[in-house]
């Protein structure tokens, strides 16, 4: 049996009736080179009775789809003499105005009175219901009105280039109807029958038919579930194979016990939480096993991940191997170094820090110490993965804030040892759907408990007019010997403007608001010596108010800081706000986080309501994922986050778990995918393999 790429579904798209050379050239630019590619060009949404809103039922600020006939159209002029184009639509229940301020010449040519059109967008009310710059799809007479016929009509994504050759939704429906005839030659299904039956999935051929042309919502739902399952399944299959490769790698059994751990444990001036103890047991069991540890440790800011890492490192050092701890910034690396050194000195474990800018003699001595194993634990930044860093016997790797590193960068550090055990830490709580997708090849540990002496941070959202009261409250805190951090946003796209705003804010706070107090500014463009000096003085309480850009997001641990003011809080993501908030209230005194909202939008209002309502990082991360999507959640939008055609990480939780269970079960029974019954799975997987690697090797 031949795979699809060798049968008629591999026919070049230009030979589909209604396509031809000109359209095929445009389609190929969109990635649709074959009949099968065209069938995988899925609708962006569907029209049916349940998704169409009668005009009389519209509500202001709701996002709605309306199907109606065009009653009138024309160019209009506002009182201020600006031009706009108006289309009046009716569906027998009322009238809707659709308005365009841009692209007027193009829109004038699109519509005719009497056309049946589906309009989609956010509803406003101004002398009647209106949608400004709506999305639209012209419907043919043969499609009629889904409100009255019950039909399900596919609406396709269409660029201006596609529209220029007549491939709007109506044009797509015609050529895809012709492409569906090729499904008669479809001789394969890429999933075994056992998986289809277990998960109640329809065949791939039926799924491709129904996603484009279904008679009812039930068949459309079945098609959607099957196609989503496929995309999640093959990624989970990759994760399962990676996990098998990791667990089968020959590691070392680090089960020797000695005095180091006890010396450090006894020196702690606090009691470990039950969650920390549980995680330590999980790590100790991994280290004692002959297989390689590959574990992700999640825990909120301030939950005590660093102490867990120190005690874990002590276990490995007792077994005669070296430890590398990699952090994304010098500030965080130096913070870790200070804490590691504080406790490791008590056990006479040698530590060092390796960062980008160090004196040559100092660097030379550190490199020699790493090479001859006199340095047992080294903490650093990307400097650790440079070629001239050579370990005598690297056996344990700790990577903090892992989402800031690419897989290749992490791999370069791991390759400096012989199958070292790996612990990856993050203070960004990851929603379950993302954890099993992005980290599906790792075992997961969670510190879901805060230290007993830690009080929840009080969070308040204010507007600019309330700032005088806030400043008075801060002065009261400063007079009690406490400290404050004021954070300004610094976004890459507007860095110069943002930095200027931070500098201006610093001047105002220094000269007008807190003239009797010590105020200092820190930002990312300063050299490391300047930043270190400022942070040392802040640690000693020589600086009472620290004005900062988001350089403080990670690596600042000053227990005496009890107040944080976040300027333009509406510009931050939820997870970033939660990270910032975690920098205060780290001592025994209550912390206060003041979020200054200067631009009120529906999204920013919802975001700030969530952050002020809860301190639960996992609840916050779930909401952040819904608001921003996975690419921005991980801060990797610029790297081309994996794009599925139909799957949705935010909404597909149950399907992801089903796909994961099936993929891992298949690999457990057939680790190399070599059994005859799985040949189609293997062929599809190998074809998709490189594309999947783009997802897991971001960076």
Residue with the two structure tokens 């055609």: 645
Residue 442 pLDDT:
80
Residue 529 pLDDT:
79
Q: Is the pLDDT of residue 405 over 70?
A: no
Q: Is the pLDDT of residue 399 over 80?
A: yes
CB count, 10 Å around CB of 511? 10
pLDDT tens string 178-197: 999 988 877 678 888 899 99
Q: Is the pLDDT of residue 640 over 60?
A: no
Q: Is the pLDDT of residue 404 over 70?
A: no
What secondary structure, in 3-state letters, does 607-663 show?
HHHHHHHCCCHHHHHHHHHHHHHHHHHCCCHHHCCCCCCCCCCCCCHHHHHHHHHHH
Helix (H) or strand (E) holding 459: strand 458-462
CB count, 10 Å around CB of 504? 11
Residue with the two structure tokens 């913070």: 335
The values of phi and psi at residue 24, to 5°, are: -65, -35
Query: For the chain, what percent of residues have pLDDT higher than 70?
Result: 87
pLDDT tens string 133-161: 998 888 876 666 666 666 788 989 888 89
Q: Is the pLDDT of residue 83 over 70?
A: yes
Residue 637 pLDDT:
44
Residue 92 pLDDT:
87
Residue 325 pLDDT:
95
Residue 6 pLDDT:
45
User: Interhelix angle for 259-267 vs 305-318, to 10°?
Assistant: 150
Average pLDDT of span 380-391: 91
Query: For the chain, what percent of residues have pLDDT higher than 90?
Result: 41
What's domain 259-289+304-426's architecture?
A: 3-Layer(aba) Sandwich (3.40)
Looking at domain 458-614, does it have CATH number 3.40.50.300?
yes
Q: Name the band, by pLDDT with cuts 50, 70 and 90, for residue 21.
A: very high
Pairing relation of β-strands 83-90 and 95-100? antiparallel
Fold agreement (45-155, 458-614): no
Question: Which carries the bigger pLDDT value, residue 633 or residue 440?
Answer: 440
Q: Name the band, by pLDDT with cuts 50, 70 and 90, for residue 340.
A: very high
Q: Which range among 59-73, 289-303, 366-380, 393-407 shows the weakest confidence by mean pLDDT?
A: 393-407
Q: What would the two tokens of residue 435 be? A: 């954890």
Average pLDDT of span 353-358: 87
Residue 294 pLDDT:
87
Q: Which range among 16-25, 296-305, 460-469, 534-543 shows the weakest confidence by mean pLDDT?
A: 296-305
pTM equals 0.68
Highest mean pLDDT of the ranges 90-99, 435-444, 529-538: 90-99
CA gap 295, 303 in Å, rounded = 17
> What DSSP assignment string belongs to 71-134?
EEEEEEE-TTS-EEEEEEEE-SS-EEEEEESS-HHHHHHH--TT-EEEEEEEEEESSSEEEES-
Map out the domains of the chain as residue ranges. 45-155, 259-289+304-426, 458-614
CA gap 324, 398 in Å, rounded = 6
Residue 681 pLDDT:
73
Q: Name the band, by pLDDT with cuts 50, 70 and 90, for residue 215.
A: confident
HSE, CB side, 13 Å, CA atoms: give it for residue 247: 14
Q: Is the pLDDT of residue 330 over 90?
A: no
Q: Is the pLDDT of residue 52 over 80?
A: yes
CB count, 10 Å around CB of 668? 10
Q: Is the pLDDT of residue 279 over 90?
A: yes
Question: Which carries the bigger pLDDT value, residue 579 or residue 491?
Answer: 579
Fold of 45-155: OB fold (Dihydrolipoamide Acetyltransferase, E2P) (2.40.50)
Do 91 and 67 form a contact (C-beta atoms < 8 A)? yes
CB count, 10 Å around CB of 427? 22
Q: Which residues of 465-494 are buried (b: 16+ CB within 10 A; e: fewer)?
A: eeeeebbeebbebbeeebbbbbbbbbeeee
């Amino acid at each position: 049996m031949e795979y699809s790429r060798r049968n008629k579904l591999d026919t070049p798209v230009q030979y589909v009736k209604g396509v031809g050379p000109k359209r095929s050239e445009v389609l190929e630019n969109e990635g649709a080179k074959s009949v099968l590619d065209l069938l995988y060009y899925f609708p962006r949404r569907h029209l049916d009775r349940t998704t169409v809103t009668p005009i009389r039922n519209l509500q202001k600020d709701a996002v709605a789809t309306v199907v109606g006939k065009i009653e009138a159209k024309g160019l209009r002029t506002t009182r201020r003499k600006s031009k706009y184009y108006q289309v009046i639509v009716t569906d027998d229940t009322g009238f809707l105005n659709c308005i365009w301020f841009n692209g007027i010449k193009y829109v004038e040519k699109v519509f005719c009175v009497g056309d049946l059109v589906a309009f989609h967008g956010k509803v406003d009310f101004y002398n009647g219901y209106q949608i400004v710059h709506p999305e639209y799809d012209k419907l043919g007479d043969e499609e009629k009105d889904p409100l009255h016929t019950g039909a399900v009509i596919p609406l396709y994504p269409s660029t201006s280039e596609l529209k220029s050759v007549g491939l709007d939704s109506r044009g797509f429906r015609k050529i895809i109807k012709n492409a569906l005839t090729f499904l008669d030659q479809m001789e394969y299904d890429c999933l075994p029958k056992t998986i289809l039956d277990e998960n109640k999935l329809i065949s791939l051929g039926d799924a491709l038919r129904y996603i484009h042309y279904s008679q009812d919502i039930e068949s459309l739902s079945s098609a959607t579930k099957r196609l989503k399952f496929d995309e999640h399944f093959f990624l989970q299959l990759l994760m399962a194979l990676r996990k098998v490769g990791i667990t089968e790698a020959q590691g070392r059994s680090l089960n020797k016990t000695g005095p180091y751990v006890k010396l450090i444990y006894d020196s702690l001036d606090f009691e470990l939480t039950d969650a920390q103890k549980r995680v330590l047991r999980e790590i100790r069991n991994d280290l004692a096993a002959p297989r390689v540890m590959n574990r992700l440790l999640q825990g909120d800011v301030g939950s005590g991940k660093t102490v867990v890492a120190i005690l874990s490192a002590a276990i490995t050092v007792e077994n005669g191997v070296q430890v590398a701890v990699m952090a994304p910034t010098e500030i965080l690396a130096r913070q870790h170094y200070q804490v590691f050194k504080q406790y490791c000195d008590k056990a006479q474990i040698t530590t060092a820090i390796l960062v980008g800018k160090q004196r040559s003699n100092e660097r030379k001595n550190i490199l020699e110490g790493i090479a001859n194993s006199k340095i047992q634990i080294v903490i650093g930044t990307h400097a650790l993965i440079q070629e001239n860093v050579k370990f005598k016997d690297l056996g344990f790797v700790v990577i903090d804030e892992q989402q800031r590193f690419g897989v290749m960068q992490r791999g370069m550090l791991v390759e400096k040892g012989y199958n070292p055990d790996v612990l990856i830490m993050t203070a960004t709580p990851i929603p379950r759907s993302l954890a099993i997708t992005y980290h599906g090849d790792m075992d997961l540990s969670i510190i879901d408990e805060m230290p007993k002496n830690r009080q929840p941070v009080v969070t308040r959202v204010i507007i600019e007019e309330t700032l005088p009261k806030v400043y008075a409250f801060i002065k009261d805190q400063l007079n009690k010997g406490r400290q404050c951090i004021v954070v300004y946003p610094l976004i890459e796209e507007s860095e110069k403007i943002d930095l200027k705003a931070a500098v201006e804010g610093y001047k105002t706070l220094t000269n007008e608001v807190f003239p009797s107090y010590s105020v200092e500014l820190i930002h990312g463009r300063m050299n490391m010596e300047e930043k270190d000096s400022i942070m040392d003085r802040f640690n000693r309480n020589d600086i009472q108010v620290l004005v900062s850009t988001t350089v403080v997001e990670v690596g600042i641990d000053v227990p005496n800081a009890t107040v944080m003011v976040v300027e333009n809080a509406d510009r931050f993501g939820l997870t970033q706000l939660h990270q910032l908030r975690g920098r205060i209230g780290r001592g025994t005194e209550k912390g206060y986080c003041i979020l200054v909202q200067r631009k009120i939008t529906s999204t920013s209002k919802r975001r700030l309501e969530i952050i002020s309502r809860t301190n639960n990082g996992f609840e916050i991360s779930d909401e952040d994922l819904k608001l921003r999507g996975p690419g921005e959640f991980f801060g990797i939008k610029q790297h081309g986050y994996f794009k599925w055609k139909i799957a949705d990480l935010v909404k597909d939780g149950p399907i992801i778990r089903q796909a994961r269970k099936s993929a891992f079960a298949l690999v457990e029974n057939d680790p190399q995918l070599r059994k005859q019954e799985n040949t189609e799975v293997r062929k599809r997987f190998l074809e998709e393999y490189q594309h999947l690697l783009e997802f897991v090797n971001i960076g």
